[in-house]
Structure 1
Amino acid sequence: MLTVGDKFPSFKLTAVKAGPEGLGGPGKSFTEITSESNPGKWKIVFFWPKDFTFICPTEIAAFGKLAGEFADRDAVVYGVSTDSEFVHLNWRVYNEDIKNLEIPMLADTKKELSEALGILAKDEGVALRATFIVDPDGTIQWASVNGLNVGRNPQEVLRVLDALQTDELCPCNWEKGKDALNPQKLFEAAAA
């Protein structure tokens, strides 16, 4: 699996557009998103195993509710599974929790991105619940993978993004607005 310090792989995928625009029907709902889209932005890329399942819409809806928070931090959020854009669109039409989703749903139908990242579940052949924070230079700064039966916490992803963007030493459970660690002060306090 690719991890912190690795370059995020290049990709070119069809996606269901974010927000109500994504429900315009098959001819109007789709867009192409590539690794070159949204230059200069942080990217949050999260994967789920399958559409029309039980845990996935809870996570997707939670990321969607935080889309504005991520945007305030100069970050874009991409949701990805190995289902097609047509399946994504149908799922959005019939699931109230994600109907007006504020993030695009990317279709990795050839599984090329999932394979390049090393996050395909070996037995099921679907993406694990992986999340990546990618800096504006395309380098992975945070990676997390859950098994298929455990949902993740998008609020924690936002917290980690905040910490990464400080470019400082952030202690356990650090939150935006709190002080980062100052090694000089720690050495001075220890010496006193």
Structure 2
Amino acid sequence: MSSLINTTLKPFKTTAYHNGKFVPVSDADLKGKWSVFFFYPADFTFVCPTELGDVADLYSEFKKLGVEVYSVSTDTHFTHKAWHDASETIKKIQYPMLGDPTHAISRNFGVLIEEEGLALRGTFLVNPEGQIKVAEINDLGIGRDAKELLRKVQAAQYVAAHPGEVCPAKWTPGQKTLAPSLDLVGKI
């Protein structure tokens, strides 16, 4: 598997269920802002609502950072609406839920399980220039943590705004960063 890090987001067009409406979404909508793509296998499942609810609980924090979250499954936007109407957890979602019934978006991000027509649990952070800066793919049974995703967004934004600095493990805003140099080699 080749890395998607620093590659440019491939063009796409789809329909999302968002705030009670069906809305078109394309790669052009992402230009100039940070975006998270949060792939999951399917609506009306088990681990998926726990993850999407976790992201929904922190959505306002992502928005404060200027980040739009897009959940994506190979279901249609109609199925997203039905799930939203049926589940108390999914009713909390205020971010766009992208339908990917053609599997094009899932395939572009390398998360499609071809023989099943489902997406792996993929998480991707795209910068305002359309480059993928974070890529994480989990097997179907392994749920993700929205707080860790938020921390990764904060670190990526910090690094983008502070060339020459890097964020060490478990870095959070306000903590010390590193400035890689010959003087640091072997001293960390």
TM-score (norm 1): 0.88
RMSD: 1.9
**How much has 1:123 moved relative to structure 2?**
3.6
Q: What SS class does the counterpart of residue 37 from structure 1 fall into?
A: helix
- Percent identity, please: 39
For residues 36-84 of structure 1, the C-alpha deviation after alignment (integer angstroms, 9 at most, x for no partner) is 1143110000100010001000111111111111111111100000001
Bigger Cα displacement from structure 2, 120-129 vs 51-60: 120-129
- Matched residues in 1 for 2:14 and 2:185: separation? 52
- Structure-2 change in CA distance of 1:50 and 1:187 (3 Å): closer
Q: How does 1:21-60 map to 2 (within 5 A)?
A: 21-22=19-20, 29-60=21-52
Indicate the residue corresponding to 2:4 in structure 1.
3
Aligned length, in residue pairs = 181
**How much has 1:187 moved relative to structure 2?**
3.9
Contact persistence 1:65–1:102 (CA under 8 A): no
**Is the counterpart of residue 140 in structure 1 residue 136 in structure 2?**
no
**Is the counterpart of residue 173 in structure 1 residue 170 in structure 2?**
yes
Contact persistence 2:74–2:102 (CA under 8 A): yes
- Matched residues in 2 for 1:181 and 1:92: separation? 43
- Matched residues in 1 for 2:186 and 2:134: separation? 31
Q: Which residue identity does 1:87 align to in structure 2?
A: T
- Matched residues in 2 for 1:65 and 1:187: separation? 39
For residues 154-190 of structure 1, the C-alpha deviation after alignment (integer angstroms, 9 at most, x for no partner) is 1111111111111121111111111111345964995
- Structure-2 change in CA distance of 1:6 and 1:189 (3 Å): closer
**Is the counterpart of residue 100 in structure 1 residue 83 in structure 2?**
no
1:182 corresponds to which of 176, 179, 187: 179
2:118 corresponds to which of 126, 143, 150: 126
- Structure 1 gaps, min length 5: 23-28
Q: Which residue identity does 2:32 align to in structure 1?
A: G
Contact persistence 1:44–1:132 (CA under 8 A): yes
Indicate the residue corresponding to 1:12 in structure 2.
13
- Matched residues in 1 for 2:98 and 2:186: separation? 50
- Matched residues in 2 for 1:148 and 1:103: separation? 22
TM-score (norm 2): 0.90
Indicate the residue corresponding to 2:60 in structure 1.
68
- Matched residues in 2 for 1:37 and 1:107: separation? 16
- Structure 2 gaps, min length 5: 160-164
**How much has 1:124 moved relative to structure 2?**
1.8
